[in-house]
A and B are shown apart, each in its own frame.
Chain A
């Protein structure tokens, strides 16, 4: 086969088939339909299989991207899945929710000249294929005899659980909600990440031997210290997320109709308030909704509000579109669906209708000034530019603070912002207790949390002495066993 060059590969990036904006804005069906086989084969051809690939380093969990794409081109789809599964057990999820443009695709060599290879879409295609075919890597592992307790069943906890199970440990994951999945379930809406995909990935973890215990509020039902001292866990991982939504402290925040994006999304997604009254959880029905913030959570809140029947949905963000932290595709979809964006706009006050309900907002225009500590231009108010507009619901999506429960109930060391203090290896101040994800770093992405979960698993293995055993086997990877020794089990996926 002739060596591919930038001139010989398909020039245009294969578009993602999507439901039309008008139609999808009425329903919770997934927006992006996923590549067809032909789409995937064509897009895979666009990878130059660089000998010195930058994309692997751009991936927080270092998936061997050129190798899995190469396997797609030779129609070895199972091999493509195995390649991804070596470092990422949840490709169907990551392919959908990773901000690829700032990770693997952001450093893609093809992207220097053309649009980068659609790595995320290919990953999703492989992940979906694996779920449809019932593939799952269930390696034969020698039981290590160690018991691991994991606090929180979100992406950090799931990733850590997967790695520790593959290292032969007996893993129990605790979740406070009535079903596992954490932010993937309560936060990310179905039109972006359908629940059956999450359930199938959780089912895969169960097949690895991971146990999920829901309705368990660690800290209050039993403490972190009790997990080690009384419940017999040899090591514990804390991945409880950031939680605790921030407010701005402007007048009118306690009016009815003002809520956090977390509340809106949890009611709608996990508690299925969108199917009220079939489900009992009520949801405030906003006709004119204003969402403050422009991250991924804000995009979700905006698009959920639209689907719940709002006539007008506004996005209020104090910086410009270029600084929006949202994933490019989400921002694009939100614009397509008719969300009204107010860039360079800062809320001053939420207005009262006289009966304790929201009637509107007063805002001020901003302009960009000198770069601030985050490196982004600092927004500054434009004097005399105040204006008002009507709204009956205001949603805060401006980030979260640390959840206080673990800190309240344990002697574990916290930093001054209330997040858990860890070493470089994600070890906390308590022996045998590790932590990762938002509860350590503050709000970040799903894949970063997964990366932290895996990093903590590496440290846990080292702490428990499992690492040496596996590295003697002469494999580069720290845990799991070489692919050629995998004992695959066919699964029926949901």
Chain B
């Protein structure tokens, strides 16, 4: 057997959840077998493309596929929305990268997913469920028509708190409102896992800090190689500098310097805006709609997957 030769990164399924959010299922049997919750991949959609990190949203060893959920906001992801159809191939797909999430023996866990963090939260919630925990899922969307994977979450969560900004489904509010309700109702909550835009993860970490509830977050900084070589993804955790790609991407939310993380996510804002401009012009599209406001206002959330 020669591992890798069979992996041509063929897209075997696609589903669109909204104007901007779409799911790709890619065949990669070895990766489907090796992947663990919390890990990510790096994707290049074409030879001239950039390498973008995306957290794994699912992986099915039996099917030999991995699942990515992508939000099309920047140049690369919008282009992928157009070109990544069933039967086509990705130019490059490498992973699983990063240290897998530590699924501890906590009895009661809240899994909070906002924005792009909803999909990658699923394998973690599932892993906690399998480990015997009481799992409270908290997921947020802008509106009821953007909700996806509700059934998937229900199948692995003992409770699911669904939040929508406009109140059209579940509770009205953002995921931190959901977390607050959860914290009030569950004095025995042992652990919180939060994935989403940095502002959201920061708010989650602040909500649990007073009660000293262990809160793990999955950071998503700019990176190139994903193997510890470029150092672009360095984050301040406590008084130390860590590389998200090989030391993370999961870190203790009470230790992460989110302001630093958010500032560093803006590194290429100018170039990305310019690339987006050129892309829309070259596509002869009408002026692009302003990037949609996400669950929490963070214009750079899309920049590096979720």
Residues of chain A having any CB pair with chain B under 8 Å: 172, 174, 176-178, 186, 211, 213-217, 220-222, 231-232, 241, 243-245, 247, 249, 253-254, 256, 259-260, 262-263, 266-267, 271-272, 276-284, 356, 396, 403-405, 408
B residues within 8 A CB of A279? 48-50
- A169 CB to closest chain B CB (Å) equals 14
Which among B50, B227, B228, B230 is the interface contact of A280 at CB below 8 angstroms? B50
B residues within 8 A CB of A254? 234, 236, 241, 260, 263-264
Q: Does B169 touch A at the CB level, under 8 Å?
A: no
Which among B5, B98, B260, B267 is the interface contact of A213 at CB below 8 angstroms? B5
Instruction: Give the docked Cα–Cα distance between A216 and B6 (Å).
Output: 12
Q: Is the CB of A217 within 8 A of B95?
A: yes
Task: Using A220-B34, A221-B30, A278-B48 as known contacts, list a sample of 6 further A-B pairs with CB atoms less than 8 Å apart, ordered by residue number in A.
Answer: A232-B1, A244-B243, A254-B236, A271-B51, A403-B246, A405-B227
B residues within 8 A CB of A231? 1, 3
Which among A217, A271, A396 is the interface contact of B50 at CB below 8 angstroms? A271
Q: Is the CB of B268 within 8 A of A282?
A: yes
Q: Is the CB of B44 within 8 A of A277?
A: no
Q: Does B102 touch A at the CB level, under 8 Å?
A: no
Q: Does B219 touch A at the CB level, under 8 Å?
A: no
Q: Is the CB of A176 within 8 A of B275?
A: no
Instruction: Give the docked Cα–Cα distance between A247 and B243 (Å).
Output: 12
Query: Which partner residue on chain A sits nearest B48 by CB separation?
Result: A279
A residues within 8 A CB of B227? 176, 217, 243, 403, 405
Q: Can you list, as one digit per residue, whether each of B44-78 has a CB less than 8 Å from chain A (1) or not (0)?
A: 10001111000000000000000000000001100
Task: List 23 A-B residue pairs with CB atoms under 8 Å apart, sorted by A's residue number.
Answer: A172-B2, A176-B225, A177-B94, A178-B91, A213-B2, A215-B93, A215-B94, A221-B96, A244-B228, A244-B231, A249-B241, A254-B264, A256-B264, A256-B267, A276-B271, A277-B274, A278-B48, A280-B275, A281-B50, A282-B271, A284-B268, A403-B227, A405-B246
- B273 CB to closest chain A CB (Å) equals 10
- A278 CB to closest chain B CB (Å) equals 7
Query: Which partner residue on chain B sits nearest A400 by CB separation?
Result: B229
- B55 CB to closest chain A CB (Å) equals 14
Instruction: Give the docked Cα–Cα distance between A97 and B232 (Å).
Output: 26
Q: Is the CB of A215 within 8 A of B4?
A: yes
Q: Is the CB of B49 within 8 A of A176?
A: no
Q: Is the CB of A266 within 8 A of B97?
A: no
Give residues 191-247 of B contacting A (CB, 8 Å): 224-232, 234, 236, 241, 243, 246-247
Q: Is the CB of A176 within 8 A of B94?
A: yes
Query: Which partner residue on chain B sits nearest A240 by CB separation?
Result: B227
- A262 and B229 contact, Cβ closer than 8 Å, known pairs A221-B30, A222-B3, A280-B50: yes
A residues within 8 A CB of B34? 220-222
Instruction: Give the docked Cα–Cα distance between A284 and B34 (Å).
Output: 35
A residues within 8 A CB of B92? 178, 214-215
Instruction: Give the docked Cα–Cα distance between A215 and B95 (Å).
Output: 8
A residues within 8 A CB of B91? 178
B residues within 8 A CB of A405? 227-228, 246
A residues within 8 A CB of B44? 178
Q: Is the CB of A247 within 8 A of B232?
A: no
Query: Which partner residue on chain A sits nearest B260 by CB separation?
Result: A254
Q: Is the CB of B50 within 8 A of A213?
A: no
Q: Is the CB of B39 within 8 A of A220?
A: yes
Q: Is the CB of B94 within 8 A of A216?
A: yes
Q: Is the CB of A404 within 8 A of B224?
A: no
Q: Does B86 touch A at the CB level, under 8 Å?
A: no
Q: Does B304 touch A at the CB level, under 8 Å?
A: no
Q: Can you list, as one digit per residue, whether each of B80-106 has a CB less than 8 Å from chain A (1) or not (0)?
A: 000000000001111111110000000
Q: Is the CB of B96 within 8 A of A266?
A: no
Looking at B91, B231, B260, B271, the one whose CB has the most chain A CB atoms below 10 A away is B231
B residues within 8 A CB of A222? 3, 30, 34
Instruction: Give the docked Cα–Cα distance between A267 and B92 (Å).
Output: 16
Instruction: Give the docked Cα–Cα distance between A174 and B3 (Å).
Output: 10
